[in-house]
Structure 1
Amino acid sequence: MKALIETIVRPLVDHPEHIEVKEEETDYKIRYHLIVHENDVGKVIGKNGRIAKAIRTVVYAAGSDSNKKIFLDIM
């Protein structure tokens, strides 16, 4: 899943070397923390959060096989 997130985000940012995805897993959920360069945060979130919503939709769909709830935080 980390590779999927990086693959989606890499073409959107100006500083792809600063992309970092951290995974935090508990019994009932998996939380991914997407960290990008401070100048790229707006590009990843997009106007009115549209790009962030699209990224989350893809990630949630890809993780639907799991019984755990999936969250994606963008920092």
Structure 2
Amino acid sequence: MRALIESMVRPLVDYPEEVNIREHEEEHKIVYHLSVHKEDVGKVIGRHGRIAKAIRTVVYAAASNSDKKVYVDIM
């Protein structure tokens, strides 16, 4: 899942080397914390959150056969 998120985010940003994804796993959920350079936050979120929503939709669809709920947190 980490590679999927990176492959979607890196082409969007100006500082791809600063894309960082941390994974926090609990009993019933997995949270991916995505952080990017401060100048790239707007590019990852998009107008009215459209790009962030699209990223989350793809990740949720890819994890639909998993037993755990998956969340993407953009910081």
TM-score (norm 2): 0.98
Moved over 2 A (4+): none
What is the match of residue 17 of structure 2?
17
Distance 1:41 1:65 in 2: 30
| Structure 2 portions without partners, runs of 5+ | none
- RMSD after superposition: 0.4
AA partner of residue 31 (structure 1)? V
* Shift of residue 67, structure 1, vs aligned partner: 1.0
AA partner of residue 18 (structure 2)? H
Distance 2:74 2:37 in 1: 11
Distance 1:34 1:65 in 2: 22
What is the match of residue 55 of structure 2?
55
AA partner of residue 60 (structure 2)? Y
Distance 2:63 2:32 in 1: 12
Distance 1:2 1:42 in 2: 21
Distance 1:7 1:21 in 2: 12
| Structure 1 portions without partners, runs of 5+ | none
Cα displacement string for residues 22-59 of structure 1 (whole angstroms, at most 9, x for unaligned residues) = 00001100000001000000000000000000000000
Note if 1:66 corresponds to 2:71.
Answer: no
Distance 2:9 2:17 in 1: 11
**Number of residue pairs aligned between Structure 1 and Structure 2:** 75
